[in-house]
Amino acid sequence: MPTTIETVRDALVKARRDRSLAEIASLPVPATLSEGLKAQAAVGEALGLAEAGWKVGIAEDGTAVAGLMPGPWLAPGEVYEGAIGAELRIEIEIALRLARDVPFRPGQPWSRAELLACCDKAYLGIEIVESRLANWSGNVAFPLWLADAMGHGGYLIGPELDIATLDDLTGLGCFISLNGVTIYDQPAVHGNGDPMTPFLAWANRQSDDLGSLKAGQIVTTGSLCGGVLSPGKGEVVTRLSPLGTVTLTLR
């Protein structure tokens, strides 16, 4: 009989290959966050996904978590193709590029300054959240959400930013419009206060089940606007005021 990890892996692999959605009720829930991460790693291995980037976060119990971002990596103005029936959410973020490896080193925690010294670029990044799980919003156990790479769909790399932007979000605003209609316009706020907090937590994680932080990878630091539901498809304008604008098309 297949294990929980194998069952979840097979369902998510099929959904990604078929550009379809898996029903939550048909899936077992990984027993722990660690098991959810192992299921995610199994999906990535089965699909041969590149470890090109990571979205990092902190679970409610304080555990550091991450989701693999293999692509698609899009440039501003390009088209993101969503699966039929999938819910699409937009997140405005600050992303960092690793200039060198950040090895797993339990017992020797990385400091914020050390971690930033491993990065050479910061960008305005736009994540498209597109879960392989149908009707997931408010209805998915977090270990299963982890197995689905926290709903990562694709990522747009926008203009380069000063890395010092991470030190103070005061005065920044997040704006999103769809087909000329404003759907979000609020001050930029990070759920952990300091955008480096989840990245630092993942660098100092207690186990290395998922993958490594390596030179050339992009690491997101978390949304500054939450996950903004797109009410439809079309032309999207996103802006981290006054620093930069990224446009895209949802299709």
pLDDT at 206: 87
Q: How far is CA 4 from CA 33, 67, 90, 137, 144, in A?
A: 13, 19, 30, 22, 10
Contact 89, 184 (CB under 8 A): no
pLDDT band at 208 (very low <50, low <70, confident <90, very high): confident
pLDDT of residue 62: 94
Under the banding of pLDDT at 50, 70 and 90, the label for residue 93 is very high
Q: Is the pLDDT of residue 137 over 90?
A: no
Domain count, the chain: 1
- Quickly count: other Cβ atoms within 10 Å of residue 183's Cβ: 16
**Cβ-count burial of 174 within 10 angstroms (0-12 exposed, 13-18 middle, 19+ buried)?**
buried
pTM > 0.85: yes
Measure the N-to-C terminal CA separation of the chain; round to a whole number of Å.
Answer: 39
Average model confidence (pLDDT) for the chain? 96
Locate the DSSP E strands across the chain: 22-23, 53-58, 64-68, 73-74, 79-80, 89-98, 119-129, 133-134, 152-161, 173-178, 181-187, 218-223, 228-229, 234-241, 244-250
Query: Using 50, 70 and 90 to split pLDDT, how confident is the model at 30?
Result: very high
| 207 pLDDT more than 90 | no
What is the structure's pLDDT at 176? 98
Give mean pLDDT, residues 208-214.
90
- Domain span at residue 97 reads 4-250
What pLDDT was estimated at residue 71?
85
User: Which CATH number belongs to the domain containing residue 244 in this structure?
Assistant: 3.90.850.10
* pLDDT of 13: 97
